[in-house]
Amino acid sequence: MVDRSPGKAASGEQSIKILSVIVGADSTATCLNAAVLAAQSVGDCTIEALNVVVDPGLLVAASEEVDMQRLREHWEGTASERSAACHTAFVAWTAGAAQDAPPVAWRTIVGDEQVVVTQEANNADLLVVIAHERNMDGGDALHAALFDSQKPVLIVPVSWKPQPGQSFSRVAAGLSDSDAARRAIEAATPWLEGATDVTAIRIGDAGDPALMLEALLDDAGIAHQLHVVPRSHENLGQQLLTEAHLAGADMLVTGAYRHNQLIEWFAGGTTRHLLAKADIPLLMVR
């Protein structure tokens, strides 16, 4: 039986913690599988599976928010029922986890999803992993991690399943002329260094200033291929995903929400399209 309590490094120092935010029973295994691959890519990590119990009876929030949470109970069950279902899924995943999987600990906190996720994300050492489950908890957790924390976020499509023996060994990085793209590449350095194949993708012109971000890879000593392609699709997010697939990528690194989230919602935007269409994990930083 694998010890799933937080561990220590061989040197006696505390292992690096990755936070895996559990937002629904259906996506629990998906989220944990991605967290394990992320941990194995950098080594010497532990994983904390965090489930926030949003109990409307204990919320200190606007009355509209409390009412919305109570309305959920009709369709999704009570907060305690949803949490119990997540924990059951966690126990089932644990029973089938590989013996060499990193230590994983379960933690439940009662509170507001965004407040708790923001706090715990900032306490994580390296990364926050969230499955893109389209429920209220999932939306609140993702918003908090991307907009309110200082950590990179690995966003995992609910339908994603790792193949036997898969790792994040083939990584694509989107180059764009934004601070978010720069921060994403810097934050992804541990996975880029551990990858066997890295492709830097720029959709645009050969003389685009965004190509200067390639220097971040050079400075870090990360061997990579540069792939520059002209814009050929109205949906930039879809074209970036297509190019990542052509590169055989297991993960796509990209900046998130260059514009305000509300603007992207009304006008459309790369991040919105990526989140809607991605079938591989996205490592994002805003």
**pTM, 2 dp:** 0.89
- Structure tokens that stand for 165 in this block: 């023996």
Could you give the C-alpha distances from 268 to 45, 57, 92, 154, 271, in angstroms and in order? 37, 36, 39, 22, 9
Distance CA 238, CA 34 (A): 22
**Both structure tokens of 95:** 């029973």
- Rounded CA separation 254/241 (Å): 11
Question: What is the pLDDT tens value at each position of the chain, 286 positions in all?
Answer: 233 333 344 444 568 999 999 999 999 999 999 999 999 999 889 999 999 998 766 555 566 665 665 676 666 778 899 999 999 999 999 999 988 899 999 999 999 999 999 999 999 999 999 999 988 899 999 999 999 998 999 999 999 999 988 999 999 999 988 889 999 999 999 999 999 999 999 998 777 777 788 999 999 999 999 999 998 877 888 999 999 999 999 999 999 886 555 434 444 478 888 999 999 999 999 8
Give the contacts of 132 (CB within 8 A, at least 6 positions apart): 27, 138, 142, 155, 156, 157, 158, 275, 278
Structure tokens at 171: 């990584």
For residue 217, which of 247, 256, 189 has the smallest C-alpha distance? 189
